[in-house]
Structure 1
């Protein structure tokens, strides 16, 4: 099952006994903080969870799979995630 913003807010609502509006605002605020930090080019490190990093990709040659013709893909920025050792161990049942 995928964890959605709505489901996260419900867990915060029940776990911390916040009212529904406060739980939604908490989730939204956290996500906005993460987005604005990544947008500015900074990394986001959450101890025990992992690190979101912004990487710059160079322009490169690609191919249109539908037509087979070559194309130049523009430079871009992407977000990557590297999980912490603790999270990796937990996922692997250690």
Structure 2
């Protein structure tokens, strides 16, 4: 599912025109980015939590040359689904 698909589904289920829904979805996603860039975490109850996590420095390997390369510490965004969300999709069958 793409963002456009999401906008279409929300528009059809609420009766709000797609243009307005797209503005709200974009603003929601931007609010998440802005909050994380300020070091905050976002908890959406029943859905999940966006957080920042610091990865430790490590020694990596260049796959072409097999040379060892230092990889510095870095901060990465993470998302953890809520238990309620996990339970709601636990019995879904997926086609592989």
Q: Given the two structures, how large is their TM-score scaled by the length of structure 1?
A: 0.90
SS in 2 for 1:56: strand
| Match status 1:25 vs 2:23 | yes
Count of aligned residue pairs for this structure pair: 92
Aligned residue number for residue 51 of structure 1: 49
Query: What is the DSSP-based 3-state SS (H/G/I as helix, E as strand, rest coil) of the residue aligned with 1:27?
Result: helix
Partner of 2:26, secondary structure, is helix
- Stretches (4+) displaced over 4 A: none
In 2, Cα distance between the equivalents of 1:9 and 1:57?
Answer: 34
Query: 2:62 corresponds to which residue?
Result: 64
User: How far did 1:93 drift?
Assistant: 2.5
Q: Shift of residue 6 of structure 1?
A: 0.5
TM-score (norm 2): 0.88
CA RMSD across the alignment: 1.4
The one of 70, 80, 85 equivalent to 1:87 is: 85
